Amino acid sequence: MPSPTQRALARVPARLRPVLVKHRKLVKFLLVGSTCFVLTVVVNLSLKFTVLQHKPVVALTVATVIATAVSYVLNRQWSFRANGKQREAVLFFVVSAVAVLVNDVPLIVSRYVLDLRRPDVSSFTQEAADFLSGMVVGTLLAMVFRYWAMQRWVFVNLAENPAAPQERPARVPQA
């Protein structure tokens, strides 16, 4: 019985299939990220328009932390297919904590440095600036950072670890 991934690939045009297979880890990472992005948007907006109306950075941070927990499980089980060692989990959450800060910086700049908030701008402008800075720019920056850091430090196989000592080929004496 074919896996869900194989069934999905069967529906992709034949000329695109080799590219997706070659970059399958990235494709899976992007699918997990897309799912977590939708989760982040829903939680962020729910918090922002209810209990955290005057704290947009806190709402975004809480939403990002929830999505990060979901992301860990999905990335570990599907994207990177790792065994789930304690060291891996600690590194994942350290990288994710840094990524949460990376995600928050554009919103902080938009709200508090550029002063794109009421009463200086309209409610629509404030919400559009919040969404673009926090959800779009912040998420893109954090995504790039996470992908790089996850491959570099978290979900690393010894064979792929650039920091692992490499065996040198035996020197053949020349006659």
Sites in the chain below the pLDDT cut of 50: 158-173, 175
- Cβ-based neighbours of 43, under 8 Å, separated by 6 or more: 62, 63, 66, 67
User: Average pLDDT over the chain, rounded to whole?
Assistant: 83
Residue 27's pLDDT is: 81
Instruction: Please give the structure tokens belonging to residue 140.
Output: 């893109």
Summarize pLDDT for 164-174 with one digit per residue, the tens.
444 444 444 45
Taken as a whole, the chain contains a residue count of 175
Residue 163's pLDDT is: 47
Taking the C-alpha atoms of residue 90 and residue 133, their distance in angstroms, rounded to an integer, is 28
Taking the C-alpha atoms of residue 136 and residue 4, their distance in angstroms, rounded to an integer, is 29
Q: Which of 95, 31, 104 is closest to 68 using CA atoms?
A: 95
Alpha-carbon distances of 39 from 54, 101, 145, rounded to whole Å: 21, 18, 19
Residue 12's pLDDT is: 84
Q: Which amino acid is at 7?
A: R
Instruction: Please give the structure tokens belonging to residue 125.
Output: 């402008």
Residue 85's pLDDT is: 66
- C-beta separation of 156 from 81 below 8 A: no
pTM, entire model: 0.73
Taking the C-alpha atoms of residue 139 and residue 102, their distance in angstroms, rounded to an integer, is 8
